[in-house]
Amino acid sequence: MKKIKNICCLGAGYVGGPTMSVIALKCPEIKVNVVDLNADRIAAWNDVNLENLPIYEPGLDEVVSEARGRNLFFSTDINTAIKEADMIFIAVNTPTKNYGEGKGMAADLKFVELCARQIAEISTNDKIIVEKSTLPVRTAKTLQTILESNGNNVNFEVLSNPEFLAEGTAINDLLNPDRVLIGGSKTESGQNAVKSLVDIYSNWLSPQQILTTNLWSSELSKLTANAFLAQRISSINALSALCEATEADVDEVANAIGKDSRIGSKFMKASVGFGGSCFQKDILNLVYLCRHFNLPEVANYWEQVIILNDYQKHRFAKKIINSLFNTVNGKKIAFLGWAFKKNTNDTRESASIYVAELLIEDGAEINVYDPKVSCEKIKMDMRNLWELKGINEDVIFSKLAQIKVYDDPYEAVNSSHAIAILTEWDEFRDYNWTSIYEKMYKPAFIFDGRGVLDVNEINKIGFNYYSIGK
Ligand code: UDX
Ligand code: UDX
């Protein structure tokens, strides 16, 4: 087994950044170079002021402050980092393809392929290549083929080591994971490579926490884990609609069924719909794979998780419009929260984007407050959505004028007709809701997409309060 002394990670994003920071923290004898094409992002990772790190993640600043400059380095010098490394993690993004074959379903592997080509071209010594990005099953084969074609007599061994961290709890998930999964080929060199990676994680994890499988099981387990988690949310969200029709309470139902140890209580919070960079992308990818392997029943089964999630986002927006007397035209709707969940500044696939779109379509003015998301990001999210739909620039310009972003929640809700809660930030519970009520048009509405407020207290103040599944 080769002892790893130098690691390179391609991609300094939500996965690459925190994962490498923790590896560097726990393995001070290994030099960890995190590289990225995006110079601004790298500059932010190197910023002396830790509040300017490109990712907001509780506890990340402390880890970076301890390891950065010691054995953790962020740079745009990709070639040097590749050349020096014995082990290279690929953590570039793998978005859903928005063109050509598999458009809207398949994972776009062009960045991963570019990484493999660059590694093949530059490498002069044997390397272990680790798939960190979520990839379709059998991508390791593609990588191996590209790498082997370099003709430099360099040996590459490809491993799959999917990341299960959730944003907002990434550092804790990395320090105390339920499991680390490593897939490798069953050849002698494959198993040696697996041992080298196990050796790294053994610096802080017990052998029971580290699972090893074949490559394909590891790749598929990541897609499957996300599909199962998302399926639970869609299941409870489906029931939330039935609860509203029958006067059952979705939280009570979730609590009652969650006590059954076979079901368990986690991932059963009804919501305005799941977001994030992974769930939708990975399920679409799974559906695409099933269709590719001619398994339409399996594909349709998983696709329903996405269909239900879209339904939930629409249902929430429709509820707002219907409650406000069938139109929100010219009305101010305050959005509390824009991130896809609390404790992150990530907004990818956030339900807020889709709810905002529907309300703007109906003529609303959206006043947003999120403790960690910038105005630029919010406008960029909407612009990207509309550009993808082929909406022309003039229309985009006028739609963007319907969004205002505030640094102060009390200003965002001022003179609004309704408040929609899109993210479960803890601070929302502690607001002075009586004073908020006084600042709003009457009847004052709250649409709680995250079930964060106390129904009785809010009703007592005088609000018309709607909470999902109640
Ligand atoms: C990751 C995973 O890699 C993805 O497969 C998983 O499903 C979600 O999480 P994430 O870290 O969240 O992606 O993505 P992102 O924050 O976009 O970071 C990717 C980084 O790679 C970006 O900073 C981008 O600039 C960089 N990149 C991309 C490169 O350096 N080179 C490329 O060729 C492409
Ligand atoms: C997810 C997986 O949890 C993680 O293992 C994987 O590596 C990446 O994808 P992430 O997307 O960061 O992580 O966050 P997660 O906590 O899973 O939340 C995803 C979405 O589901 C959020 O929008 C969240 O608000 C929503 N959610 C979660 C619910 O609506 N109800 C729940 O009960 C749980």
Q: What is the DSSP string of 334-401?
A: EEE--SSSTT----TT-HHHHHHHHHHHTT-EEEEE-SS--HHHHHHHHHHHHHHTT--HHHHHHHHT
Per the prediction, the chain carries an average pLDDT of 96
Q: Is the CB of 164 under 6 A from ligand 2?
A: yes
Parallel, antiparallel, or unpaired: how do β-strands 72-75 and 156-160 relate? unpaired
Residue 74 Cα, ligand 1 centroid: separation in angstroms? Answer: 14
Per-residue pLDDT of 57-103, as tens digits, reads 999 999 999 999 999 999 999 999 999 999 999 999 998 898 999 99
Select which of 127, 278, 332, 470 is catalytic: 278
Tokens linked to 9: 């990670």
For residues 275 and 239, give the distance between their C-alpha atoms in angstroms, rounded to a whole number: 19
Cα separation, 354 vs 368, whole angstroms: 14
Q: 200-229 pLDDT, tens per residue?
A: 999 999 999 999 999 999 999 999 999 999
Which pLDDT tens digit goes with each residue over 146-187?
Answer: 999 877 789 999 999 999 999 999 999 999 999 999 999 999
Q: How much is the pLDDT for 311?
A: 98
Cis previous bond, 443, omega within 30 = yes
Centroid of ligand 2 to alpha carbon of 225 (angstroms): 11
- Among residues 410, 406, 346, the alpha carbon closest in space to that of 380 is found at 346
CA of 406 to the centre of ligand 1 (A): 29
Q: How high is the pLDDT of residue 134?
A: 87
pLDDT in tens, 34-53: 999 999 999 999 999 999 99
DSSP E strands in 147-238: the ranges are 156-160, 180-184, 210-214
Q: Name the one residue in this structure whose structure tokens are 């479960």.
A: 424
Q: Is the CB of 233 under 6 A from ligand 2?
A: yes
Q: Which ligand is nearest to the CA of 35?
A: 1
- Residue 418 host element (H or E): strand 418-421
Does residue 135 surpass a pLDDT of 90? no
- The ligand minimizing its distance to the Cα of 18 is 1
Write down the pLDDT at residue 303: 98
Question: Which of 222, 281, 341, 342 does the annotation list as catalytic?
Answer: 222
Q: Coil, helix or strand for 176?
A: coil
Q: What is the pTM of this model?
A: 0.94
